[in-house]
Amino acid sequence: DTGVSQDPRHKITKRGQNVTFRCDPISEHNRLYWYRQTLGQGPEFLTYFQNEAQLEKSRLLSDRFSAERPKGSFSTLEIQRTEQGDSAMYLCASSASQEQETQYFGPGTRLLVL
């Protein structure tokens, strides 16, 4: 399968713990996006990368959130000192380029903070 993959698929953690999620985009896609989706809502943009450069961050991305894409391939999203309000589905998407902007989504990582 050459689609977008995310790991883990599910994560349960206690409030105050740190968590890290990984996204592997479609091979040779140079844009990678992170979104957050809460129950009953559409995905909300968090941040995106073009190759290894982080080009935009949403105001939703507080200072407890950090994302990296060190070699322009896979990306990680870390949440420090998790809060119950962080419980959501975290979605990753990739697109080939700015011009070929169709975004393909992964299956998501569902986070539950107790």
Partner 1 sequence: GENVEQHPSTLSVQEGDSAVIKCTYSDSASNYFPWYKQELGKGPQLIIDIRSNVGEKKDQRIAVTLNKTAKHFSLHITETQPEDSAVYFCAASSWGKLQFGAGTQVVVTP
Contacts to partner 1 by CB under 8 A: 4, 33, 35, 40-45, 48, 55-56, 58, 91, 98, 101-108, 110
Output 19 or 106, the one with its CB closest to partner 1.
Answer: 106
Let me know if 59 is exposed, middle or buried by CB neighbors in 10 A (0-12, 13-18, 19+).
exposed
Q: How many angstroms separate the CA atoms of 94 and 52, rounded?
A: 13
Instruction: Give the tokens for residue 109.
Output: 């990582």
Least distance (Å) between residue 60 CB and partner 1: 11
In the complex, the smallest distance separating the C-beta of residue 81 from partner 1, rounded to whole angstroms, is 26
